[in-house]
A and B are shown apart, each in its own frame.
Chain A
């Protein structure tokens, strides 16, 4: 029935049928925005702050941390303390860290091989974000020697058994035939 009635409506009516709900929708947006119905939920609580350490690199330049922010507002790392001592640090890229962004925090701290260290990052509100390095050892680097060794390990576990196994192929070919 509707299929039959619709084509009979004039163009203006059809346009109005779109425009009126569109206007109502826009009006509703303005009304909701002016009403700010969520304002009653604002209890004065400070912005949520979150920092997550995703990687840590220990080398001859100190401690490097890849830190991702997850706060409701951009985060500021104001100071860094390692083992309860304020320490200089650089942040790359510098400035406030937007939600979801990650930065490298580089701390020229003389860490001690085989011992534990405790990094504490303080935000501008004084919120502490702690990261424990349980046992400090240098992070392996992609050096020539390192790659050669890894290639050797790969050959030992991957190539050598296959090669050795194949060497038995001629003998295996005869197995069972002579029985």
Chain B
């Protein structure tokens, strides 16, 4: 029948074709069985029978999460600022007594273009206040008259916009203290309210001027005499830089910032006080017999929030620092949006000596540089 429909094909030739197909099929089956014998691995197609497929399984030196770090060290001398000395380097300006008995405190701040090393080997074309990022940590006392002499030595218009209470003329926005290159402006206002504040350049576009490095802490210590309750007065006194009550505190200035090194609207390096991983390479020495107070500010651009997490300990948190009683008690994590700031107080008095970590609890920020260590020891150790 079939032969009738295909008369041109000789029956013996057809048998030959069928035989060939059978042979080819047999070869395919043989190949399949060869494959299945050698591949018990579910990730078939990649024969790894002679090597460990899991990199954790192999004995290997240094292959651990301890490798989560930058390579090399930043040259702080070339930068002109050191994250370790920045922690306690408060700029108190110069003071004089006014005829009415009040104190006039004068700060001098210059805007300067400067290339800074933000992680080992990575250089960022920053705009700075006084050549450093963050800018100088200005510190004054509630009720003082403040005068900030601001000179723009940079290549773009800049200003100093203070978070505080002042007149519109002193606000540091276009038309009120925003000055061009080579110009000078003097901001004058009263130091109020007390708390942990900031200043930053308010030139436009704001985003660029912020993330280029133009920000800094602006701390106003409370005046204990203005507190009617003795307990609060004592708390206030402990915050006044240079007072006997303040002497026992270990105060640290920390600014959480980040850098968009390729200007794509996302940060490549995160840090506390500019240099990624700075306090991993040089842990912050803490005397465990004395309490710790951190003035913390977030100026991270592009990311909605930043955070601070302390390992193996809890702290009290004073949001914005404008109250003498804690906003949050006994927490180990706080969040801050951009320009949010506050005061953290804690103690390692009852802890074992050791290295205690602190970092943002956005793992991404942590692993891109915003992580550090407290080296907690006794006073003599």
CB distance from A84 to the nearest CB of B (A): 5
Name the segment of B9-17, B171-179, B222-230 touching the other chain: B9-17
Q: How far is the CA of A149 from the CA of B71 in the complex (A)?
A: 41
CB distance from B117 to the nearest CB of A (A): 9
Please tell me if A72 contacts chain B, counting CB pairs below 8 Å: no
Q: When the two chains form their complex, are residues B34 and A152 in contact, meaning their CB atoms are under 8 A apart? A: yes
Q: How far is the CA of A71 from the CA of B327 in the complex (A)?
A: 53
Q: When the two chains form their complex, are residues B262 and A85 in contact, meaning their CB atoms are under 8 A apart? A: no
Q: How far is the CA of A103 from the CA of B47 in the complex (A)?
A: 28
Contacts of B65 in A (CB 8 A): 110
Against A, the Cβ 8 Å flags (1 = close, 0 = not) of B24-56 are 100100110010001000010011111111111
Q: When the two chains form their complex, are residues B60 and A175 in contact, meaning their CB atoms are under 8 A apart? A: no
Contacts of A6 in B (CB 8 A): none
* Closest partner residue, chain B, to A91 (CB atom): B71
CB distance from A170 to the nearest CB of B (A): 12
Q: How far is the CA of A146 from the CA of B39 in the complex (A)?
A: 11
Contacts of B281 in A (CB 8 A): none
Contacts of B120 in A (CB 8 A): 78-79
Contacts of B71 in A (CB 8 A): 79-80, 88-89
Please tell me if A50 contacts chain B, counting CB pairs below 8 Å: no
Q: When the two chains form their complex, are residues B262 and A168 in contact, meaning their CB atoms are under 8 A apart? A: no
Chain B residues 351-381 with CB under 8 Å of chain A are 364, 367-369
CB distance from B73 to the nearest CB of A (A): 12
Against B, the Cβ 8 Å flags (1 = close, 0 = not) of A69-96 are 0000000101111001111110000000
Q: When the two chains form their complex, are residues B369 and A61 in contact, meaning their CB atoms are under 8 A apart? A: no
* Closest partner residue, chain A, to B56 (CB atom): A110
> Considering only CB atoms and an 8 Å cut-off, how many residues of chain A contact the other chain?
54
* Closest partner residue, chain A, to B39 (CB atom): A149
User: Per a CB cutoff under 8 Å, which of B16, B55, B368 touches A172?
Assistant: B16
Against A, the Cβ 8 Å flags (1 = close, 0 = not) of B56-92 are 1110101111011111100000000000000000000
Q: When the two chains form their complex, are residues B58 and A61 in contact, meaning their CB atoms are under 8 A apart? A: yes
Contacts of B53 in A (CB 8 A): 113, 137-138
Q: How far is the CA of A86 from the CA of B72 in the complex (A)?
A: 12
CB distance from B121 to the nearest CB of A (A): 3
Contacts A79-B71, A85-B68, A86-B369 given: A110-B51 contact, CB under 8 Å? no
In the complex, which of the residues A60, A127, A128, A144 has the most CB atoms of chain B within 10 Å of its own CB atom? Answer: A60
CB distance from A113 to the nearest CB of B (A): 6
Q: How far is the CA of A113 from the CA of B65 in the complex (A)?
A: 17
Q: How far is the CA of A61 from the CA of B63 in the complex (A)?
A: 7
Name the segment of A9-17, A18-26, A27-35, A156-164 touching the other chain: A156-164
Q: When the two chains form their complex, are residues B121 and A78 in contact, meaning their CB atoms are under 8 A apart? A: yes
Q: When the two chains form their complex, are residues B122 and A79 in contact, meaning their CB atoms are under 8 A apart? A: yes
Q: When the two chains form their complex, are residues B367 and A86 in contact, meaning their CB atoms are under 8 A apart? A: yes
Contacts A84-B367, A126-B262, A168-B19 given: A59-B51 contact, CB under 8 Å? yes
Q: How far is the CA of A171 from the CA of B19 in the complex (A)?
A: 11
> Considering only CB atoms and an 8 Å cut-off, how many residues of chain B contact the other chain?
57
* Closest partner residue, chain A, to B260 (CB atom): A126
Q: When the two chains form their complex, are residues A146 and B47 in contact, meaning their CB atoms are under 8 A apart? A: yes
Contacts of B129 in A (CB 8 A): none
CB distance from B126 to the nearest CB of A (A): 11
Q: When the two chains form their complex, are residues A137 and B46 in contact, meaning their CB atoms are under 8 A apart? A: yes
Please tell me if A53 contacts chain B, counting CB pairs below 8 Å: no
Contacts of A152 in B (CB 8 A): 34
Contacts A138-B46, A145-B49, A149-B47 given: A62-B121 contact, CB under 8 Å? no
Contacts A79-B121, A172-B16, A175-B16 given: A140-B47 contact, CB under 8 Å? yes
Please tell me if B193 contacts chain A, counting CB pairs below 8 Å: no
Contacts A61-B60, A175-B12 given: A125-B43 contact, CB under 8 Å? no
Contacts of B124 in A (CB 8 A): 126
In the complex, which of the residues B49, B63, B259 has the most CB atoms of chain A within 10 Å of its own CB atom? Answer: B63
Q: How far is the CA of A84 from the CA of B370 in the complex (A)?
A: 12
User: Per a CB cutoff under 8 Å, which of B10, B34, B43, B50 touches A141?
Assistant: B50
Contacts A78-B121, A89-B71 given: A125-B27 contact, CB under 8 Å? no
Please tell me if B182 contacts chain A, counting CB pairs below 8 Å: no
Q: How far is the CA of A145 from the CA of B70 in the complex (A)?
A: 39
Contacts of A146 in B (CB 8 A): 47, 50
Supply 7 further A-B pairs (C-beta < 8 A) apart from A78-B120, A110-B63.
A85-B68, A86-B69, A113-B53, A156-B27, A160-B27, A164-B27, A175-B13
27 A-B pairs whose Cβ atoms sit less than 8 Å apart in the complex: A59-B51, A60-B55, A62-B55, A79-B119, A79-B121, A81-B367, A85-B364, A85-B367, A86-B368, A86-B369, A88-B62, A109-B67, A110-B63, A110-B65, A124-B122, A125-B122, A126-B261, A128-B262, A140-B47, A140-B48, A143-B50, A143-B51, A145-B50, A164-B24, A168-B20, A175-B12, A179-B12
